[in-house]
Structure 1
């Protein structure tokens, strides 16, 4: 099961610009194969431009492979979009609004 970082207050999943195995850039949810370490969490938050003070608000969360893929589908490779995981449901919106 892949792991993501979920913002406790909103349910937002951490997403940022990345490079895939074919060296193509994309915008997607940050995934780990195992529970991320504190250092991995801090590094990913910094790369995503999240303030260091908010690190405690992010928690590792396990998703199914299907939900992890669907989270990236909902982002549509668009850095203006955010994806949320609440009550075992995914939703997406533009950064200035909540829900789809």
Structure 2
């Protein structure tokens, strides 16, 4: 199946912008590198959505290479387009003790 779209949920987009602002405040170059790293992961997820392991039910996780962040996402089939869509649920720091719950 072909991936139709990759959609960032509002909380994932908000978290990404918060972290991007944090790294940019430290150093503009650091913010740019974080942005590139997340974009690279998102493109890889879109190209290979089933490559990454499931961690909570149908939720999969992809880790950034140089920053301690994980991208949590699900893949859903849309009958209308007969294609699959990737929904990025959240972007979380890997060193914090926050468990993602699908509410």
Shorter chain as normaliser: what TM range?
A: under 0.3
Question: Radius of gyration: which is bigger?
Answer: 2
Give the structure with the higher percent helix.
Answer: 2
TM-score by length of 1: 0.25
